[in-house]
Amino acid sequence: MGKIKREGYAASDQERASYVSSISAPIRDFKGGVVAALCMSTVKMRFKGKKVEQVIMLVKEIAGKLSKELGYTENKANDSI
């Protein structure tokens, strides 16, 4: 959990389904609590190299924008995952 909190996302490599990889990022509310998550999944063979880094950045960016819409501002004291 510490790594997920530090990096701001979680990655899954065939953990829930064979041949499927995914990236998830938390969506936070105005109190800093996690109220949802944004997840992007794809077939593992399409998820290689630079594409992984691009997806991580995109998922984190969109989750951050959704969090802002819910009133979240960074460095909330109650941030939890």
Residue 81 is assigned to a structural domain of this protein: no
pLDDT tens digits, residue range 63-81?
Answer: 999 999 999 998 755 555 5
CATH number at residue 52: 3.30.450.40
Indicate the number of domains in the chain: 1
Q: In the chain, how many H helices and how many E strands?
A: 2, 3
- φ/ψ of 40, rounded to 5, equals -125, 125
State which residues form the domain around 31.
Answer: 2-69
Q: Any idea what DSSP says for residue 9?
A: -
- 11 burial class (0-12, 13-18, 19+ CB within 10 angstroms)? middle
Residue 79 is assigned to a structural domain of this protein: no
Residue 64 is assigned to a structural domain of this protein: yes
Query: Edge-to-edge, what's the strand order for the sheet holding 10-13?
Result: 10-13, 20-28, 34-43
Residue 25 is assigned to a structural domain of this protein: yes
pLDDT confidence of residue 76 = 58
pLDDT confidence of residue 60 = 97
